[in-house]
Chain A
Amino acid sequence: MEVIYMLIGFSLLIALIFLGLFFWAVKSGQFDDQYTPSMRVLFDSKKSSSEKSNNNQKHRDE
């Protein structure tokens, strides 16, 4: 049963890492604005501008 000591030690360590990540997330402002990021999901990153305008053209033709 003594293995429990070690296991609990590890589980606490992992939990502490997650707490640390949570602290980092809050401090870097990720909880300040909870609405705008949901809009950013919709943005595609496109490669180049020329391709883009072609794509746009296609979309509009359709």
Chain B
Amino acid sequence: MTTATATISPDICYHCGEDCLSESVAFDDKAFCCSGCKSVYQILDESGLCSYYDLEANPGINLKNTRHRARFDYLEDEEVIDRISDFRNQNKLSLTLYVPNIHCTSCVWLLENLQKLDSGVLQSGVNFLKKELSLLIDTEKTTLRDVVEQLVTIGYEPEIRLEKLDSKTEKSHRNRSLWLKMGVAGFAFGNIMLFSFPDYLDTTGTGLGDNFHIFFGALNIILALPVLVYSSSNYLKSAFAALSQGGVNLDVPISIGIVALFFRSVYEIITMTGTGYMDSFTGLIFFLLIGKLVQQKTFHRLSFDRDYRSYLPIAVNVIDKNGDEKSVSLDKLMPGKEIHLRNQELVPCDATLLSEKAYMDYSFITGESEPVSVTMGERIFAGGRLIGTSALLKTKEKVTNSYLTKLWNHEAFTNNDKELKLTTFADKISPYFTVAVLGIAFFTGLYWLQTAGMEPALSVFTAVLIIACPCALALSTPFTLGSTLNIFSLNGLFVKNHLLIENLSKATSIVFDKTGTLTNADAAEVHFHGNDLKEAQKSWVRSACRNSIHPLSRKITNYLSTVITSNSVKKGSKSHGNLPSMTTGLHQGDRVVEYQPNSISTLVTPRDDRPVISSFDEIPGKGIFAVIAGNHVVLGSRQFLSEQSELDITEIPITEFSGSTIHLIINGNYKGFFGIRSGMRDGISDLLQAIKEKFSTYLLSGDNEGQKDEFTNCFGANGSLLFNQKPEEKLEFITSLQKNNEHVVMVGDGLNDAGALRKSDFGIALSDDVSSFSPACDAILEGNSLHKLKEFMGFSKASMKIIIASFVLSLLYNTIGLGFAITGHLSPLVAAILMPLSSISVMIFTSLTTRYVARKRGLAIWR
């Protein structure tokens, strides 16, 4: 084995595929971007798990960006283990972990070969779509904590959230019974079809002996019985429930058809008057269940009903009397404890700050785009994210009593009746449909009774009920909305429930949140206004800012780093073919590193191109003063600059820039200022311009009015912009719109939008990473697909039209069938052809038209 040496190389990391720009670690003839990646390779190499690298190129997870390693002390707590495990006895433990880092074939392979790394793991299986790892552990050989820590070392940190404590993972066995029901129906359908065939071919009625009739008839009844009792039970139950509540849903006419079909067939077979309609009956149920299965297709990996418990981590580090850190699960966290939070960690409950100073990012809770600075003794609210150096806090409330939790438990936030009110178009017309069918059946029956007698009258009566069974009608909604849902998800919009698409199609006004929705905190726009800076001056400023933990300094550092590095990258010739996609990832990676408190020390250490800082001073909240290579650099507010330099305050211009400004003085000369504002997402202004004609658009922001001017043009005359809105006010605003009979679509991202998202007719939570936390909503939209919103709404309208068109189509079949039934010509053969034909043609019609419409609107199709 070769020893590790640090070299400068332009390679990409063998483990994770990141650019090894600053320094790379060579090991075993391979380059790694950091020692973390190298050690993972070492572990895998020793265990003979290097197939990991053969399945996909550079599959690993970059460990440079790991914020800090979470502590898993709480996994030794017996009670916690009991509460998160699915099953447990003396020496076996099975549990399911959510591992957000699962992203490729190699991940699946490695995690399923976990027993090679830890012999205590008996079984491991991955569900790729859900990003779940199910483990069976031998607790005599290893502990849960060891296994989880091993996972963390190789880069697959499981996410264990508070909600997991309270609810056992609900195993999704619901679909299984549907599969079984469909299997039974399909089995009976195929076999009965086979047994009925001789009868259909036997047109003269001579070929088959009576014994065969009895034999096939008996077999048909035996095969159809489980279909009636088991497979169609859901329809019968639902129809019965609806009727007993005095309502009528689509299952009522279906159930009438099912019952009529079965009992008429039994009657015909027993009295030997005919062969019955058992093939149509089983086929009908089979197709209906296929429709159900399509309808049940949900997005497993997404959770739409999350509350604060899935936002907060499962445990925090508490400092005990001896000064030792110990992690304690949140539900045991008492007021008055000292907790230690690190960069990017969440505050679990209301607390006061014990450290001197900290920056809190409340953007998720309140919508404020800039982090807030907190000084010792001030109150910190739960849900804030710590940015910069780590801090000590003293807890004030229990987790269940803090501001964040109260917000969630606010009465208005928990209205859940939206989904109960959802009905399909099919359900709405089913009362009329049922009445019409029963009416036709009675009148034709009455007519036949008077002209031909009891027997034919009864047969016509049942024939009408059979053929009018709205099977195709019942299929049109799930198939249309199923493929609409599929196309939406291909384009980055994940809708919770297919019924909600109707709400989207009815929308009349659209409300947007600002921070994180229209703007993107990560894409902060930084511009320097003033005299052009020389390269050397830029690097002085960058070095000065790098030493500050203020969020604005970080943004300037990032901005200057991209300016400086992009120049140097241009100079050095790159020979990698796959670089274009890499470079963007590189900057993102850089940024996260910059936030790391411990990276400051490493960055300050001078490298060849980095100027030496001889003195540095920061007045928190005001500005910084630094001497770099003998040059005086002062950055900060106007006030600060005039105090720190000989310049009079009048010499520093008052800016008309909307956003934050930071003025710069180098060696006593005023150079200009940095203007910083959070950047708008791509294509937003085009989107807003396009939709403001058709819909009333509103901006509802928890932030200040800093960016008002930018947005005024984008919103229509019949809309408005509201700033400084509290979560409750957002909710009330939606309610007031709804009182004016508006159908409201709300687009938001943070917890401060949660109530509004819930209340609106269609709440869309925007998320840059769909598997990360988003508040309760009706749909999750990928951040970079927001510009397609207009197409989504147009397409949802088109889907509703397709449903109506397919209704017309299926009613056409029903009318043709009724023609046969009323005249008394509905033979089993006609039913056996007509019923599957109508179902299949409705399925084909809906899926082809949705695809056609989607393509016409420029949405991606096909899967």
Contacts and interface: CB of A to CB of B under 8 A. Distances in A.
A53 B191 CA distance: 54
Contacts of B128: 33, 35-36, 39
Given A8-B219, A36-B108, A56 B55 contact: no
Given A32-B172, A35-B129, A26 B48 contact: no
A39 B56 CA distance: 12
Contacts of A4: 212
A26 B173 CA distance: 10
Contact of B187 (A19, A35, A50): A19
B567 interface: no
A44 B51 contact: yes
Contact of B129 (A23, A36, A43, A46): A36
Task: Give the contact-size bracket for chain A.
Answer: 20 to 34
A31 B50 contact: no
Contacts of A50: 48
B784 interface: no
Interface stretch (B82-90, B175-183, B582-590, B709-717): B175-183
B180 A23 contact: yes
Interface string B23-60: 00000001000000000000001011011011100000
Interface in A10-62: 11-12, 15, 18-19, 22-23, 26-27, 29, 31-33, 35-36, 39-40, 42-44, 46, 48-50, 52-53, 56, 59-60
Contacts of A56: 50-51, 53-54
Given A26-B180, A32-B175, A36-B127, A42 B187 contact: no
B206 to A, nearest CB: 13
A50 to B, nearest CB: 8
A31 B54 CA distance: 29
A35 B128 CA distance: 7
Given A49-B47, A56-B53, A42 B105 contact: yes
Contact of A39 (B45, B108, B191, B219): B108
A2 B126 CA distance: 53
B48 A49 contact: yes
A27 B824 CA distance: 45
B109 A43 contact: yes
Contacts of A53: 45, 48, 50
A32 B54 contact: no
Contact of B176 (A11, A27, A36, A48): A27
Instruction: Name the residue in B55, B179, B215 with the highest tally of chain A Cβ atoms < 10 Å from its Cβ.
Output: B179
Interface residues of B, number: 35
B184 interface: yes
A46 B215 CA distance: 56
Nearest to B30: A60
Nearest to A40: B108
A5 to B, nearest CB: 7
B215 A15 contact: no
Contacts of B55: 42-43
B77 to A, nearest CB: 30
A29 B51 CA distance: 27
A19 B48 CA distance: 42
A60 B816 CA distance: 68
Contacts of A22: 183, 187
B837 to A, nearest CB: 25
Given A12-B191, A42-B55, A49-B48, A36 B183 contact: no
A47 to B, nearest CB: 10
Contacts of B190: 15
Ranked 10 nearest A-B pairs via Cβ: A49-B48, A36-B128, A56-B50, A26-B179, A33-B127, A22-B183, A19-B187, A39-B105, A35-B129, A31-B179
Interface of B: 30, 45, 47-48, 50-51, 53-55, 105, 108-109, 112, 126-130, 172-173, 175-176, 179-180, 183-184, 187, 190-191, 194-195, 209, 212, 215, 219
14 contacts: A1-B209, A18-B187, A22-B187, A26-B176, A26-B180, A32-B172, A33-B127, A40-B108, A40-B112, A43-B51, A43-B109, A52-B51, A53-B50, A56-B54
Interface of A: 1, 4-5, 8, 11-12, 15, 18-19, 22-23, 26-27, 29, 31-33, 35-36, 39-40, 42-44, 46, 48-50, 52-53, 56, 59-60
